[in-house]
């Protein structure tokens, strides 16, 4: 994946996960392995219609996938985009970790002056 594609992926994932209900849906799917919107609505304090809308956002972000089982759509977690986002977060954290000693030195030098 290119750096630009990674940035787009990270933006889509973070946007989708900004909503706490979507995070709870993702957690529930991970716990179940797969589930329908009806099952998820039975576990969460939102309507089935709201679950379907949240699943659509998660699907567009590449975080879940649906497959048909008879008349039902069953959803599963797709972890690849979460992995891309986690790697980006690790790089950002490492960058900050390497910059913090320099920032500390600057602050200490400023207080000594």
Q: What is the DSSP string of 73-103?
A: EEEEE-THHHHHHHHHHHHHHHHHHHHHHHH
What are residue 45's phi and psi, to 5 degrees? Answer: -85, 45
Name the band, by pLDDT with cuts 50, 70 and 90, for residue 86: confident
pLDDT in tens, 29-75: 999 999 999 999 999 999 999 999 999 999 999 999 999 989 999 99
* Ordered strands of the 72-77 beta sheet: 35-36, 72-77, 64-69
Percent residues over pLDDT 70 in the chain: 96
Q: Provide the 8-state DSSP code for 68.
A: E
Question: What is the rounded distance in angstroms from the CA atom of residue 68 to the CA atom of residue 76?
Answer: 11
Asked whether 29 and 35 are in contact (CB, 8 A), the reply is yes
Question: Residue 88: its pLDDT value, please?
Answer: 86
- Residue 68 phi/psi, 5-degree rounding, is -85, 140
Query: What does pTM read for this prediction?
Result: 0.79
Q: Are 62 and 9 in contact (CB under 8 A)?
A: yes
């Amino acid at each position: 994946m290119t750096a630009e594609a990674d940035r787009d992926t990270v933006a889509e994932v973070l946007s989708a996960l900004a909503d706490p209900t979507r995070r709870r849906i993702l957690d529930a799917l991970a716990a179940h392995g797969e589930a329908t919107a009806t099952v998820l609505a039975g576990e969460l304090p939102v309507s089935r219609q709201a679950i379907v809308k949240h699943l659509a956002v998660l699907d567009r972000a590449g975080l879940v996938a649906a497959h048909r089982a008879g008349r039902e759509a069953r959803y599963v977690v797709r972890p690849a985009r979460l992995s891309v986002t986690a790697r980006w977060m690790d790089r950002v954290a490492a960058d900050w970790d390497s910059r913090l000693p320099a920032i500390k030195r600057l602050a200490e030098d400023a207080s000594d002056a």
